[in-house]
Homo-oligomer: A and B are copies of this chain.
Amino acid sequence: MPHIAPNELLPIGELARRAGVSVPTVRYYEERGLIRSERTPGNKRLFPRHTLRRLAVVAAGQRVGLTLQEIMAALADMPADRAPTQREWTRMGTRWAQTVAQRIRQLEILQTSLDGCIGCGCLSLGKCVLFNPGDEAATEGPGSRWLRNAEAATGSQG
């Protein structure tokens, strides 16, 4: 197991292995602007060690249910070249916690509708909240990504 000094530059394979993602994924993230690399004279990528932290933030953000876009925005507020301060980290974490809290609220409203529907036997489709949506709990876009993310991240055994 190689020792990695604080300022060491990591080749892509090492980075990917340590971050728990695939090599193409690392390249994809770089292409999307989430991380950056230098190159060797032989054109190989070298990543500063703190890229590990950024990749950890990406993984955490995905678990929260954020898109890469949103994660990128969060990363933009974080220092690229040093560890974040307690204050910086708290700020990001707090925002993410709010996001999660909001999603929980939406689901709770949905759950209430559902319970109401079950109780009231609203088979007419006429006045059921669930069947006649306002936008309280509307899931965003096709496939409701964040729900599916939550599922994947928590391991749905089925």
The B-contacting residues of A in range 110-126, CB under 8 angstroms, are: 110-111, 114-115, 117-118, 121, 123, 125
Contact A110 to B114, CB < 8 A, known contacts A20-B137, A150-B63, A154-B151 = no
**Most-contacted residue by chain B among A135, A138, A156 (CB, 10 A):** A138
Contact of A67 among B101, B118, B143 (CB under 8 A): B143
A96 within 8 A of B: yes
Within 8 Å CB of A110, what residues of B? 63-64, 100, 150, 153-154
Within 8 Å CB of A90, what residues of B? 118, 121
Copies of this chain, whole number: 2
A133 within 8 A of B: yes
Contact of A103 among B94, B107, B125 (CB under 8 A): B107
CB atoms of B65 and A144 under 8 A apart: yes
The interface residues of chain A, by DSSP majority, are classed as helix
Contact of A147 among B93, B103, B117, B146 (CB under 8 A): B103
Give A contacts to B, CB under 8 Å. Answer: 1, 4, 17-21, 52-53, 55-57, 59-60, 62-65, 67, 83-84, 86, 89-90, 93-94, 96-97, 100-101, 103-104, 106-111, 114-115, 117-118, 121, 123, 125, 130-131, 133-135, 137-139, 142-148, 150-151, 153-157
